[in-house]
Amino acid sequence: MVDHGRKTLLGCFQHWEKINPQRTYLTQPYPDGRVLDYSWAEVGDQARRMAAHLKSLELPPKSNIALLGKNSAHWIMADLAIWMAGHVTVPLYPTLNAATAKYVLAHSEARLLFLGKLDGKTDGWIEMQQGIPQDLPLIGLPMSPRPDVPQWDDLIAKHLPLRKLHDPQTDELATIVYTSGSTGQPKGVMHSFGSMMAVSAALSQMYKLTSEDRMLSYLPLAHVAERAAVESTSLYFGFRVYFSGGLDTFQQDLKRAQPTVFFSVPRLWTKFHQAINQKLSPSLQRLLFALPVVSRLFKNKLLRELGLNHVRAAITGSAPLPSDIIAWYRKLGLELLDCYGMSENFGVSHASRPGQVRIGYVGSPAPGVTCRIDDNGELLVKSPGQMLGYYKMPQKTVDDLTPDGYFRTGDRGEIDSQQRLRITGRVKELFKTSKGKYVAPVPIEQLLGNHPKLEAVCVTGQGQPQPFGLLLLSPEARQELNGNTAIQADFATLLQQVNGTLEGHERLDYLVVVKDPWNMENGFLTPTMKIKRGVIEERYLPMADRWLKAGQTVIWE
């Protein structure tokens, strides 16, 4: 447990900068093959010089400054510089479309935009740039797609490091994090320096993190999950952070980092599992796992292959993982620890402790968190990471909090005897069939989603006699597809198995294998890889009557 007496992440940074100045903090690969290490002192020098530039602009105190780009060392440096100069960071997802980027920049009243690493291929830059106001001042971070604007390296060369840094109070606004917009227009969640510290304080009590740990940063820093799990904890505990160059170099980057703590989402845990299965059949794996001496060597080899052989804390979140995949990782010696949190509490809500994992549950309350289930089944949470409110939305802030200060999560939940939480769906995701029966889609989606050939699932059927399922094949399954006879029978069996576990009004009439992929670029997934139910239903529900009349159990769009 680290206790350096600091009250804010900026104070934490200054602590490590002072006691470990020459120690490497950030490791950044560049497109030309270079890999640069930045020490705590170097990060501090660059951030302080940029803070001096921001001060020279004479912006009003506590101005909102936007930060757009993929994860990089300079993303964190820019965040620190904004705080050092006494301003507020507004991060934007690198996959936003033009309309959403325009909305966030206007709504947040951003006075300046730091533009970082973007390639226009695996992000939304080509379209998004149309949504950036012409009169908004820009500063290009290294690897920025705009060499025609003032550049970070040039600006810091013109300034001496800022000597008198802003010293924020814990209740002072630090950042405005815009939600991913899965339920409509993004909301600006205001977080204080105190709420950002809360996640690190909680982790210091739950897991034995130290300055010797290592993490790889690759999930969007614009989202609270990565910002809390990687940026905040690295600043608090003083450990090293590595960055990824992208999908093409991810495995190489992972092996370079050799992380001791690895935070990921179910989609990547599943891809790791599928990649091993493609090289070694599950039957051969079972045989090797069963041989005592061989088993240990085999497990170590698999972990080295994945780049996870040094991981002692493997964390997963955002959605449930199939139980067979969880069991597979356990055989390798990795106990996947589920966590649960929201933008509104900076991820400080529930987490699984080592040795106390219950499959299907997201763990027990984090230190300082209290929760209860409301009469309608909704989970209510009060957290030390709780937001100050929604930016310029005072009524929405009031609506989402109970009179005694609990946040209405919108999630339906159940709590077991050990206070472990299971999420059973969204309160507002319940839909009514034409028979007047309500259906909760999420538990059914979890049952369907266990199938190894599926990447995403959506259960819907508002106004239909019975619900039905929309299936998105995994990229591997789409590549394998040569005619659909075998997989057709596979999905027919899946439908029968799932329906056998459901109440009569919940049973699915049919499954539809969708033709087009769902991704962030076309608006079917949020930046955190969750389905946008409203967008999907708008696209597919109009075809439901025709599908019903077809009378088939498995339909190919």
Cα–Cα–Cα angle for 445, 447, 452, rounded to 5 degrees: 100
Q: Are 90 and 66 in contact (CB under 8 A)?
A: yes
Domain extent for 135: 9-192
The torsion region of residue 520 among left (phi > 0), alpha (psi -120 to 50) and beta comes to alpha
Q: Which of 425, 442, 477 is the last residue of a domain?
A: 425
Domain-located, residue 134: yes
Q: Are 160 and 2 in contact (CB under 8 A)?
A: no
Cα–Cα–Cα angle for 91, 93, 99, rounded to 5 degrees: 105
Is the domain of 293 the same as that of 410?
yes
pLDDT at 529 over 70: yes
Helix (H) or strand (E) holding 438: strand 438-439
Average pLDDT over residues 294-301: 89
DSSP 282-298: HHHHHHHHHSHHHHHHH
Is the domain of 154 the same as that of 254?
no
The two counts, helices (H) then strands (E), for the chain are 20, 26
Q: Are 52 and 84 in contact (CB under 8 A)?
A: no
Is the domain of 276 the same as that of 135?
no
Tell me: the pLDDT tens digits for 404-457? 999 999 998 999 999 999 988 888 788 888 888 888 898 899 889 878 888 899
Residue 230 corresponds to which tokens in the numbers above?
A: 């990687």
- Among 318, 221, 215, which residue's Cα sits nearest to residue 265? 318
Is the domain of 392 the same as that of 440?
no
Return the higher-pLDDT residue of 270 and 17: 17
Q: Are 371 and 419 in contact (CB under 8 A)?
A: no
Is the domain of 391 the same as that of 305?
yes
- Please name the residue that has the structure tokens 């034995």: 208
pLDDT at 58 over 50: yes
Domain-located, residue 199: no
Average pLDDT over residues 204-232: 92
Average pLDDT over residues 517-539: 83
Task: Give residue 360's pLDDT.
Answer: 87
Residue 212 corresponds to which tokens in the numbers above?
A: 């010797």
Is the domain of 146 the same as that of 295?
no
Q: How far is CA 245 from its chain centroid?
A: 18
DSSP 8-state assignment for residue 129: G
Task: Give residue 532's pLDDT.
Answer: 85
Average pLDDT over residues 44-63: 98
Is the domain of 21 the same as that of 56?
yes
Average pLDDT over residues 133-158: 97
Is the domain of 521 the same as that of 393?
no
pLDDT at 400 over 60: yes
For residues 308 and 436, give the distance between their C-alpha atoms in angstroms, rounded to a whole number: 49
Strand-pair category, 88-92 with 64-68: parallel
Q: Are 330 and 273 in contact (CB under 8 A)?
A: no
Is the domain of 464 the same as that of 361?
no
Return the higher-pLDDT residue of 490 and 480: 490
Q: 555 pLDDT band (50/70/90 cuts)? A: very high
Tell me: the pLDDT tens digits for 79-136? 999 999 999 999 999 988 888 899 999 999 999 999 999 988 888 899 899 999 999 9
Helix (H) or strand (E) holding 407: strand 407-415
- Among 125, 25, 29, 34, which residue's Cα sits nearest to residue 76? 25
The domain that holds 152 is classified in CATH as: 3.40.50.980
The domain that holds 251 is classified in CATH as: 3.40.50.12780
Domain-located, residue 237: no
- Among 95, 98, 149, which residue's Cα sits nearest to residue 120? 95
Domain-located, residue 240: no
Average pLDDT over residues 458-476: 92
Q: 152 pLDDT band (50/70/90 cuts)? A: very high
Give the mean pLDDT of the chain.
91
For residues 381 and 202, give the distance between their C-alpha atoms in angstroms, rounded to a whole number: 15
Task: Give residue 1's pLDDT.
Answer: 47
Distances (CA, A) of 409 to 6, 14, 371, 394: 30, 35, 10, 17
For residues 411 and 350, give the distance between their C-alpha atoms in angstroms, rounded to a whole number: 13
Domain count, the chain: 3
Average pLDDT over residues 218-237: 94
pLDDT at 161 over 60: yes
Task: Give residue 260's pLDDT.
Answer: 96
Domain-located, residue 200: no
Tell me: the pLDDT tens digits for 298-337? 898 989 988 999 999 999 987 778 788 888 999 888 999 9
Residues 235/345/191/46 CA torsion (nearest 10 deg) = 20
Task: Give residue 4's pLDDT.
Answer: 64
